Structure 1
Amino acid sequence: MMKKLLAIALVLIGFCAKAQERKTVFEKFSNNRAIGIGISGYLPHGNFFKNGYGASVKSEWPIAQDLSLIGTLSVARFNYKSEFKGEALPTKPATFIPLTAGARYFLGDKIYFEGLVGGGYVADFHKSAFLSIEASAGYIMRLNKTNSFDFSVGYNNWGSGENLKATVLKVAYRAEWF
């Protein structure tokens, strides 16, 4: 009788024992999958635009501790400088639509650096495609465990030939999921 109870106890212990943690690949990292929706302000350098504004959607997928792949779709509108308005250029703002992918590296929980490369389309006036290269640094201000604000400052280089170079300031609402 004692041997049967001991055998049953060992079988039950075997079913209850865990040799390792059961986590998905995403739960192993402190950086989580996230989506962000934000607004942007642009300060162009040395061209015929005086300022710009826009909106973007960004998706983030962790691939290693503190490293995530990111993808961004943006829409940006740029106002022409008054001395360039006239017959040569339109008076309406120019619309740029970049689609980029890259990586985000976290230095701790709140500060990050990211780089993006992709392409885009100028929807007005020129109606042409362009290459997009972007680099930025940012700060994540946590609201709770899964929601945060994402503040960043960066540099954009859009174009081939006559490039649009701009400093960009972004604010986004960021929601994480596991």
Structure 2
Amino acid sequence: MKKYFLLAMLFCGFCRMACAQDDHQNHTALSAGPEISFPSRSQFNFGYGGSLKFETPVAQNVGLSLTGAYTEMIYKGVAFAGGTKPSPAGFVPLKAGVVYYAGGARLEGEVGSVLEQQEINGVKQNLFTFSLGPSFLIPLADSKQQFINVGLRYESWSKNTLRMIGIRVAYHLNFKSQD
């Protein structure tokens, strides 16, 4: 619980750094970066990977997003059949979402599918996913096109098969202005 409190405090600090800038709204953008996940009540200890996100505005303060990612989940250090810990489990989350811009902060909700890359417990399946959380754009120097996108999200896969807190730090590039 202490680590989640610390993460929340760090996230609030990023919020304060990003609050002054509103200029990033109403731009089509592409972002890419690493992610780390902290599952709760799961056979996995943590996860890591990367994601690519496309975002385009559709109304004042509202945008749509498409996200593709790859995530590896690391099993907890418990004894498995044969006494060896299995290799990390690979997943490909594919999601679509809505982004609401609120000053320097953003709130995003996404839904989609997670494709398992290998069998887990003798089954390989596609999982439904949803996620919700805030993010912030921190400008790089005096740029109105280049940012660091720092995001925190709650994510759930298929009726609580896996619940986690995710952190994403990505390079964010605005490349089209909507006037």
The TM-score with structure 2 as length reference comes to 0.78
| Unmatched 5+ stretches in structure 1 | 1-28
- CA–CA distance in 1 between the matches of 2:29 and 2:82? 45
Letter in 1 for 2:171: Y
Alpha-carbon offset, residue 49 of structure 1: 0.3
Judge conservation of contact 1:48–1:84 (CA < 8 Å) in 2: no
Instruction: Give 3-state SS (helix, strand or coil) of 1:82's partner.
Output: coil
Alignment partner, residue 45 of structure 2: 50
Residues 3-152 of structure 1: matches in 2 within 5 Å? 30-87=25-82, 91-108=86-103, 110-126=104-120, 127-143=124-140, 144-152=143-151
Number of residue pairs matched?
148
| Unmatched 5+ stretches in structure 2 | 1-23
- CA–CA distance in 2 between the matches of 1:159 and 1:38? 25
Judge conservation of contact 1:55–1:75 (CA < 8 Å) in 2: yes
Cα distance per residue 1:5-32 (max 9 Å; x no partner) = xxxxxxxxxxxxxxxxxxxxxxxx9420
Instruction: Give 3-state SS (helix, strand or coil) of 2:78's partner.
Output: helix
**Percent of pairs with identical residues:** 27
Q: What is the RMSD of the two structures over their aligned residues, measured on CA atoms?
A: 1.8
- CA–CA distance in 1 between the matches of 2:46 and 2:168? 14
- CA–CA distance in 1 between the matches of 2:79 and 2:115? 22
- Deviation >4 Å, runs of 4+: 87-90
Higher relative contact order (CA 8 A, sep 6+): 2
Structure whose alpha-carbon radius of gyration is higher: 1
